């Protein structure tokens, strides 16, 4: 679509994302040849919204216990679904992550010598017009960095050049989050991997009502405790501390970060 010689397929994992998925897909259809949705048994209108878009394929994961997340296994399943289309490039996103419009120009002139790209994540905070930039240490000593432009800022390897002759692997024991610096991409990427500032990913997760009201804290604490990381109470306390500590410092997002 953007580059007649290069096929781009995007994969997204979802679970009850009716609050944001329509906004995300309305952007992705502008430049993705195909969008693969792997849903984790949503009970809201996520499926109806996704299937209303052209070039979207809908798949559902097998049912499991409520907090048996198996995130890496889900990503591996998604990656195989994407690979079946034999793309030139793969884009892996969460439902609440939207590339900035500068992705268009970036992909038109993509450097074919690069194997994968780490992208800076912009955390919207408070509303959809501001992002957070403060950094601090929580009372229990956890380092928190909200500034996407610091040297140690949060980045995700969401874009990679696909090689159909290579055997990509995930650590299937991972329940939640990335243990590899390449998350959510496979753990065994090879070749030249760089951080680019040609485009960013706008992350809407911190303005999700379930984040603001603490439901996400409880959900992740259940996953971590069932995975043996610590007691539910201690896991929950850490999540609450990380979410509520510090005094937010916000900056207004540049207009060019958004599509409309």
User: How confident is the model over 81-91, as pLDDT tens digits?
Assistant: 999 999 999 99
CA torsion through residues 39, 217, 173, 154, sign: positive
| Integer Cα distance of 249 and 64 in angstroms | 40
Per-residue model confidence as pLDDT tens digits over 112-151: 999 999 999 999 999 999 999 999 999 999 999 999 999 8
Contact 177, 216 (CB under 8 A): no
Please provide the average confidence, as pLDDT, over all residues in the chain.
94
User: What are the structural domains of the chain?
Assistant: 8-257 (3.90.550)
Q: What's the pTM?
A: 0.94
**Helices (H) then strands (E): counts for the chain:** 7, 12
Q: Which of 152, 176, 166 is nearest to 116 (CA)?
A: 166
Q: According to the model, what pLDDT value does residue 5 have?
A: 80
> How does 138-162 read in b/e, with b if 16+ C-beta sit within 10 Å?
eeeeeeeebbbeeeebbbbbbbbbb
Crossing angle of helices 232-244 and 215-226, rounded to 10°: 140
Give residue 41's pLDDT: 95
Task: Quick: pLDDT tens for 180-209.
Answer: 678 999 999 999 999 999 999 999 999 999
Q: Answer whether residue 3 shows pLDDT above 60.
A: no
């Amino acid at each position: 679509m953007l580059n007649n010689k290069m096929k781009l397929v995007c994969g997204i994992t979802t679970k009850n994302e009716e609050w944001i998925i329509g906004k995300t897909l309305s952007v992705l259809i502008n430049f993705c040849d195909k969008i693969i949705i792997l849903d984790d048994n949503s009970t809201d209108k996520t499926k109806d919204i996704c299937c209303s878009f052209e070039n979207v394929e809908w798949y559902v994961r097998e049912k499991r216990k409520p907090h048996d997340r198996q995130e890496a296994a889900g990503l591996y399943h998604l990656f195989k679904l994407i690979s079946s289309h034999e793309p030139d490039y793969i884009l892996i996103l969460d439902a609440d992550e939207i590339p900035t419009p500068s992705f268009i120009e970036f992909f038109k002139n993509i450097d074919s010598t690069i194997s994968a790209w780490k992208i800076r994540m912009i955390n919207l905070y408070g509303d959809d017009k501001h992002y957070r930039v403060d950094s601090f240490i929580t009372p229990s000593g956890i380092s928190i960095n909200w500034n996407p432009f610091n040297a140690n800022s949060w980045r995700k390897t969401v874009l990679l050049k696909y090689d159909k002759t290579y055997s990509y692997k995930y650590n299937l024991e991972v329940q939640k989050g990335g243990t590899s610096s390449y998350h959510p991409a496979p753990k065994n990427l090879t070749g030249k991997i760089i951080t680019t500032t040609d485009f960013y990913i706008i992350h809407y997760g911190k303005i999700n009502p379930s984040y603001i009201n603490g439901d996400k804290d409880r959900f992740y604490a259940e996953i971590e405790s069932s995975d043996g990381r610590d007691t539910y109470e201690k896991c929950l306390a850490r999540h609450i501390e990380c979410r509520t500590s510090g005094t937010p410092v916000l900056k207004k997002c540049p207009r060019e970060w958004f599509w409309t």
